[in-house]
Structure 1
Amino acid sequence: LVSWSEFRKLFFADVCNVDHQNKAGYTPIMLAALAAVEAEKDMRVVEELFGCGDVNAKASQAGQTALMLAVSHGRIDMVKGLLACGADVNIQDDEGSTALMCASEHGHVEIVKLLLAQPGCNGHLEDNDGSTALSIALEAGHKDIAVLLYAHVNFAKAQSPGTPRLGRKTSPGPTHRGSFE
């Protein structure tokens, strides 16, 4: 095992290629996404690592990304770091799962909130079985997550100023027929 400060020395000595996959198909970024970080200085090293490689690379086996791995293991600090470095919340693995689906299945409420707050987070995506993050949360018994997802999918549609809301007809102004004048 190497400490974060030792890793930083190796990394900046060009000993480590952050996009190189090991025999299991994982990059150093993916492996770092699974690590526990206790000190702020160590998190800065991790963020440097995330910023120097492809945070959206897929593992050769199952096609998971560093974000999906961090989400599955409940590593919210790593999720934040990956998102700050451009991790795409909508990438799907070989089974069609997204990071949001992983968080929904594992019951990580705070991570679900964080992912839903990302611009463009698509709660409508379906995996290869036709399941969405909402149906996965319900199946796993995570009703609190299901409520968040339902609200996001049905009510969080961003509207630009002056854009009419879909499904709503504007009613004409009040008309006076003279009966109560």
Structure 2
Amino acid sequence: MEQWITLLKANDYLGIKKFLKNGGNPNETEENGESVICFAMRYHCDSEVIDLLIENGANIHQVDDAGVSVFDVAVTYNNLALIERLIQDGFDVNNPTRKSGFTPLMAAVCYGRVEVIEKLLEMGVDIEVRDAYGLNAMDFARKMHKKSILALLERDQDGAD
């Protein structure tokens, strides 16, 4: 994984392409199960690098040991293009993968990712889903003092009634 991290930190498209050609595994993971594609987002690699990884077989449905999915990481790093790709590929926005039940919508609320929230609402995300502690996305908006996001969720909720 060391070689991957070096290349990803440098956002080295040509180096990554060469590494893949020489047998680099785009599905290699860290000890906790975090994947190359997740590291690429963490290090803010260009979309061309992420596309290259996917084109070379990176598993976009990979989930780490804590249940954090590639989708969750895309929300964290506000990668709307990958989020849309995952939704088109059938990712279920209402099925949390994290062991805590923390959903991508909850993460988007906490990080203030308005475009992601709007996309999830457009895809019919259930704003009432609760995590293992009984909290839903609106609770997180209140807790994080995200008034404009709370208003957005309330408008969606009112529209669904």
Structure 2 unmatched ranges of 5 or more = 1-5
* Aligned CA distance change for structure 1 residues 14 and 35 (closer, same or farther; 3 Å): same
1:6 aligned residue: 15
Aligned match of 1:131? 135
CA distance in structure 1 between the aligned counterparts of 2:26 and 2:54, rounded to whole angstroms: 12
Q: Give me the TM-score of the superposition, normalised by structure 2.
A: 0.77
Whole-angstrom distance in 1 between the partners of 2:83 and 2:21 = 20
CA–CA distance in structure 2, aligned partners of residues 108 and 142 of structure 1: 11
Q: Which residue of the partner structure matches residue 116 of structure 1?
A: 121
**How big is the shift at 1:95?**
0.6
Q: How does 1:11-160 map to 2 (within 5 A)?
A: 11-18=20-27, 20-37=28-45, 42-50=46-54, 52-60=57-65, 62-72=66-76, 75-76=77-78, 78-85=79-86, 86=89, 87-92=91-96, 93-117=98-122, 119-156=123-160
Q: 1:66 to 1:79 in 2, by over 3 A?
A: farther
Give SS of 1:33's match.
helix
Q: Confirm or deny: 8 A CA contact 1:67 1:99 kept in the other structure.
A: yes
Compute the RMSD of aligned alpha carbons: 2.2
Which has more helix, going by share of residues? 2
| Aligned position for 1:174 | none
> How far did 1:140 drift?
0.9
Name stretches of at least 5 consecutive residues in structure 1 with no aligned partner: 158-181
User: How far apart are the structure 2 equivalents of 1:55 and 1:104?
Assistant: 22
* Count of aligned positions: 147
Q: Is contact 1:34-1:70 (8 Å) kept?
A: no
Instruction: Give the whole-Å Cα distance in 2 for the aligned partners of 1:100 and 1:83.
Output: 14
Deviation at 1:25, TM superposition (A): 1.6
TM-score, L = length of structure 1: 0.70
- Flag the 1:24–1:58 CA change in 2: closer, same or farther, 3 A: same
Cα separation, 2, equivalents of 1:90 and 1:8: 35
Letter in 2 for 1:107: G
Which amino acid in the other structure matches residue 103 of structure 1? A
Tell me the alpha carbon deviations over residues 103-134 of structure 1, each in whole angstroms, 9 at most, x when there is no partner.
112222233223323x2422221100111111
